[in-house]
Amino acid sequence: MTPTTPSFFEAQLPALLSGRRDAPAFWMLGILWIPLLEAHQTGGLFSVTEQLMPKDSGAHTKHVHNVDEWFYVLDGTVDFELEGETSSGQDGDSLWIPRGTVHSFNVTSDVCHVLNGYTPGGFEQVIKGLARPAPKRELPPRTEEPSPEDIAAAQFLFSNYWTARADDPWAKSFAR
């Protein structure tokens, strides 16, 4: 039997308030990650992570997920490439990326502040498992070269259960 994600009405979850002041914070790939709502809190239905990203950061590698993803731009600008088409997002814009969509993105402002969500949830566990706890809720210090931990994290991020590089042969199982 294949497990399924419960519907909204089947979840039977208690209401909850989750705030950034109580959420853990992490540094990875030059980005501040703050998981605000985790899959275990939503019955697996979705997760939401706040991100603070510097200019030229993002997922430059074309990739595909087996889950739906969305972005809400709180501040700054970011270019998205979706199935070969480029769109620019800015303050107040929301972007929906259905599972199986080949995409990439790049921050074009000095800093971009977004909410990033997944349904079903769980991707935040990949971040928590790979990233370093952030001693401050700010962007990590800029370095000329990525750390060995960030290189290993980037390699894992693009070759795991959640994400595949679009040119990986097994990514075709995610494609729409």
- Please say if the pLDDT value at position 165 is more than 80: no
Strands annotated E in 44-146: 47-54, 63-65, 68-75, 77-82, 85-90, 94-97, 103-107, 111-119, 132-133
Give residue-wise pLDDT tens across range 53-94.
999 998 888 888 889 999 999 999 999 999 889 999 999 999
- Please say if the pLDDT value at position 147 is more than 90: no
pTM: 0.83
Q: Which residue has the higher pLDDT, 155 or 26?
A: 26
- Please say if the pLDDT value at position 9 is more than 50: yes
Whole-number Å distance between alpha carbons of 35 and 33:
6
